Structure 1
Amino acid sequence: MKQSNEKLKSMERTNYLVAAFFMVALGLFSRRFSNLLPDFISQHAGDMLWSMMIYFGFRFLLGGKKILLAMVGSILFCFGIEFSQLYQADWINELRNSTMGALILGRGFLVVDLVRYLSGIAIACLVDKLLICRKR
């Protein structure tokens, strides 16, 4: 029984890792091909997908912990990154001007990003509850 439970947890963690990488792929796609998407989606999808990736990353790292812990951790992480954009020192702005820095740290503080993060995390929690955790 214990071995079966461990195998299930391992498969679940793999699912979270795959989901995180899938969010990365969708997020990059939404940026690269934004001109092919409806305006509403191209404006909001990237940040929502980024926060979903963060959520699934937390679920992967936390293993079998509760969804609430991953949700709160994701919100704090995403909000922390967004509020860090209020800090405008030369060294961090130089990082933000690189492609990777912009993807991770963002460029400028926007209140609407906080709403996008909350929406993405809520969707990720729903997907988690309905698809991934349901297998238990």
Structure 2
Amino acid sequence: MAYLTYSEYDTFGYADLSAGEFNQLIGKASDFIDSQTRNFYQFNELEEDIPFRRDKFKKAVALQVEYMYQSDATSSYDVNTPQTWSIGRTNVSEASRYSNTGRNEAPSILSDDALLALSGTGLLYRGLGGIN
């Protein structure tokens, strides 16, 4: 379920994508945000929710779209690039931004910015019970 239209995305002023590029990413971006919010808006009407939570959720979806566009990744497989690779006698090693020890730790397909947008909304709550 897509929670955001292209015109809504455009108003945030994030990465400049075409409508076609947006349409390719919005479905998966919505699914990734759904997984973090425990499918809250699968069971509750987004447009009828309080503006604060609704707007933060839409911003999180927009940030996820932007992250997927900028990283050119739509799956965890795409985002996991090798840290070391060789072509002939040329070897390239990249430091990990996920580990100060240099160990190869996998980055997440989820945007940290999107998760920050959701913080404080209650949508990331992991305890028992629901959000009212």
TM-score, normalization: structure 1? 0.29
Task: Answer with 1 or 2: which has the greater Rg.
Answer: 2
Q: Which has the higher strand share?
A: 2
